[in-house]
Amino acid sequence: MKKIITTLAVIFVIFIGILIAGPLFVINEGEQAVIVQFGRITRVVTDAGLHVKIPFIDEVIRYPKKIIAWSGEDQIIPTKERQFIYVDVVARWRISDPKIFYESINTVGAAYSKLSEIIDSAVRTVVAENDLIESVRNSNIIMESASVAAELAFEEDIENEIISAIQKSTDHTPITRGRRHLAELILARSRQNMEREFGIMLIDVVTRQISYSPELTPSVYARMIRERNQLAMFYRSDGEGRKAEWMGRMDKDRQGILSTAYSQSQAIMGTADAEAARIYTAAYTGSGRAEFYNFWRAIESYRQIMPKFDKTLTTDMEYFRYLYSPR
């Protein structure tokens, strides 16, 4: 009887130990896990929920299933023309194959180190194979600034002249790739065999910031200032030329308007003089009209002259005949 009790106690203790060890485990959303027995992977769990394991034998190693951000450190890199720049890149990645990831890298911290090694190497290689402008600029839109000045032109030959002048005044070399394309090259170079060897899917690599080295910054700023000054001088010169052109047109139009107005005024005055002469002639040559005309002209003359006389010595003058005679 005592032996049976001892056996039951042992079985009870073992059962309690199994319950404490936990035959069940939970995989949350955004997690995945590998089940390891004595260092050997037996299965991979990617579905969220409640799962079963063998207590004391199975070890559950959890990995994130979400997209993870990687941020590199600024590194100074020489370009193709041996000009040094600081390049800062960021990337996004996730564990695509937990089995390969466990066998090759094992921990997320080691994955960060491996990504830094691979991506930094790719960044150095791509930047060193291209000129500075390929890393700095993303498009040739600055070369298209000639279209802004072209909108000011009214004739085709003027437009061509403006475009040519701006292209000469702005010393820009067109890019063939650009920053975005270089980021794609870095991504493609970093992705090589990464998923197959490490179980990591590299989603993208983006250049966060590119800055000039302290030795290069003054010369770059000086060049930018020189180019902007050249462009400003061209716009001012073009504006002065257009101002002179419009002033010439305005003076020409003004002279034309004044000439037309003068011609019209002379024509009106000639017509008025002819009409006045006709009226005078008609009034003078009609029956009784000549006498009335002389009388009217004499009265008008009296109104103008008489107020200026202080005294009159004689009235026996032909000029005053209408003052003393009705005829």
More confident residue, 5 or 275: 275
Q: How does DSSP classify residue 81?
A: T
Q: Where in the chain is the domain with CATH 3.30.479.30?
A: 68-139+175-216
**Range of lowest pLDDT (156-170, 184-198, 290-304):** 156-170
Rounded CA-CA distance 205/64 in Å is: 20
Instruction: Work out the pLDDT band at 75, boundaries 50, 70, 90.
Output: confident
DSSP assignment of 87-134:
EEEEEEEEES-HHHHHHHT-SHHHHHHHHHHHHHHHHHHHHHTS-HHH
Sort residue 109 into left (φ over 0), alpha (ψ -120 to 50) or beta. alpha
Q: Which residue has the higher pLDDT, 14 or 55?
A: 55
Q: b or e along 235-258 (b: 16 or more beta carbons within 10 Å of the residue's beta carbon)?
A: beebeeeeeeeeeeeeeeeeeeee
Higher pLDDT: 216 or 315? It is 216
DSSP letter at 175 equals P
- Poorest-pLDDT segment among 101-105, 185-189, 275-279, 304-308: 304-308
The pLDDT tens digits for 114-169 are 999 999 999 999 999 888 888 777 776 665 554 544 444 444 444 455 555 555 54
Window from 52-66, 114-128, 313-327 with minimum mean pLDDT: 313-327
The pLDDT mean for the chain works out to 79
How many Cβ atoms are within 10 Å of 123's Cβ, its own excluded? 25
For the full predicted model, state whether its pTM sits above 0.75.
no
What architecture is the 68-139+175-216 domain classified under in CATH? 2-Layer Sandwich (3.30)
Quick one: what percent of the chain has pLDDT higher than 70?
Answer: 75
Amino acid identity at 116: S
The three-state secondary structure class of 149 is helix
